[in-house]
Chains A and B, each alone.
Chain A
Amino acid sequence: MKILLVRGVKKLDKNGKVISVKGVYKNYGKQTVLEGIDLDVTKGEIFGLLGPSGAGKTTLVKQLVGLEEASSGEVFLFDEKQPSLSLIEQIGYMAQSDALYTELSARENLEFFVSLYNLTKQERKERIKAVMKVVDLEDAMDKIVAKYSGGMKRRLSLAIAMLHEPQILILDEPTVGMDPILRKSIWESFNALKESGVTIIVTTHVMDEAEKCDRLGMIRNGKLIAIGSVDELKETAGVDNLELAFLKFGGEQHAS
């Protein structure tokens, strides 16, 4: 996939980290949602955040995007502290909700979102075509989004996140409601993006999807309980599947 550089490539920090989360805590009133998160993501990596709902995945992801700020601690992207306007064009964010204008057609949604970025008319057209091909929605381009199925909305939402060819894709539960064949093809395109140097952060609570990530962070009750490649995690836990590893790492708080 051709990479359009909207504002030039951002510098990586000296260790080649694209994302650096340093001691992030997040409180809502008395409730602590994130508790001392530290993690680094390297360029061209697919990094998974695995954890049950309510673990704090979405909150962490929003810190990365710059939509929320840490109560303490810092988030750096390309060596620049979030939130920062100059980072925004480098990020493609897909939230847990589909965030689509359902009364408009898919094309109208795409045309609207793509026009928020500094692209030429020709580039816009090409981008819309390219992303819709990735999510296999070319035939439903002019359908009103309200008539889309759940999975189709999810795919359109993903397409919009990729629209401006961001260097970092942050995807909150991207494949919910998709059938296995489509899920497979979406992951193939993730891998293709990764090959072209895009860094992808994916949250999931599905184990088989987590298996496909280069590295994983396991989150439970706002804490990062383990971090590493799938094989490393299994090895450290001394088990042969991720689910057992997750239980093991979270074990001390787990009664069963």
Chain B
Amino acid sequence: MRVKALVIRILKQFKRDKRTMALLILAPILVLSMLYLVFGDDDYSPRIGLVDIPEEIADQIDLSEAEITYYDEESSAYQDVEEQNLDAYLTIEANQPSITLEGSDPVINSAVLNWMQEAFEPLTGQSSSQLDATFIHGNEDMRHFDYFGPVLLGFFIFFFVFLISGVSFLRERTRGTLERLLSSPLRKWEIVMGYVIGFGLFTIIQATIISTYSIFVLGMMMEGTYIYVLLITLFLSFSALTLGILLSSFAHNELQMIQFIPIVIVPQLFFSGLFNLETISGWVSWIGPLTPLYYAADALRNVMVRGLGFEHIYIQLLVLLSFSVVFVVMNIIVLRQHRRV
């Protein structure tokens, strides 16, 4: 089969180009390791639910610095936390306050706990160190790296796959081999599929190594099933490589391919959940849902931090797949400018 010939050739080229292979695997590992070593703190106003709190107590606690919602039933508060409409909820039993946190974002966790301490100061006259905190996901020891990790993992895989696949397809065009492929019986879809499969096989290896390193060497938080992480990163790689190939058609040389990074790659990082999406200005917040990384980051976080199962990632996987399909179709259309049939 002709696609197979193309796949074999791409893999052979990879084997020869050891530096590119190393870049695809080692660079993300290097950057993730550095980020692991260097990470800072933030400020955030938590969303707190008050469940059936006696009025005389509610009057005495300091409710400023937080968005407060009132609940009658603990179950409905719990549900809102699960759906991430709420960061935590407070119950009081036998005069003993107890807080339940969503828990997956360490920035929010510390904001909630800090708020609690300050809020109960007027009531108890002391910092409530005996505070009873429950985490639905994650725990008190979770580091920022654990929360950002999944996004960064997705980002670096996306970034390097995009760059390398884009540059190789660009080279195919600039050195004339694309023209030669198009003057052979290869169909346009076969060319695109050959690239998707050839690079796909390689990105399976890449995504596996990087995920494994992040989880087992850097100790990135991993609550869910490892195979789901691989599945998500693989789907993300497909969208990255089809996008890379597509955009390479609009570049005339390698430098112009690099110029896509600030336009296409960096914004994805900003809008994919690395920074709290609710603090982003409304007039740019629509960008997130248009980027593949947004869905991959959400799915990765669901698996790695929240330990959720397949029912919480399949929609994201479908969206990522749709991105790839759209990019493939656009690739085939773009190739028509080289050969109409």
Contact = CB atoms under 8 A, between A and B. Distances in A.
B185 A88 contact: yes
A108 B9 contact: yes
A69 interface: yes
The size class of the interface chain A forms with chain B is 20 to 34
Most buried by A among B13, B186, B341: B341
Nearest to A118: B185
Contact of B5 (A69, A89, A97, A116): A116
Contacts of B183: 65-67, 88, 91, 93
A149 to B, nearest CB: 17
Interface in A91-108: 91, 93, 95-104, 108
A104 B9 contact: yes
A91 B183 CA distance: 8
Interface in B286-341: 338-341
Given A69-B340, A83-B339, A93 B180 contact: yes
Interface string B258-282: 0000000000000000000000000
A112 B338 contact: no
A66 B185 contact: no
Contact of A115 (B2, B175, B177): B2
Interface residues of B, number: 26
Nearest to A108: B12
Contacts of A189: none
B341 A95 contact: no
Contact of B185 (A67, A83, A116): A116
Contacts of A144: 16
B180 A112 contact: no
B121 interface: no
A162 B339 CA distance: 21
Given A67-B179, A83-B341, A97-B176, A113 B184 contact: yes
Contacts of A91: 183
Given A67-B179, A104-B9, A116 B184 contact: yes
B184 A66 contact: no
Contacts of B41: none
15 contacts: A65-B183, A66-B339, A83-B340, A85-B341, A88-B183, A95-B176, A95-B179, A96-B176, A99-B180, A100-B175, A101-B177, A103-B17, A104-B13, A113-B180, A118-B185
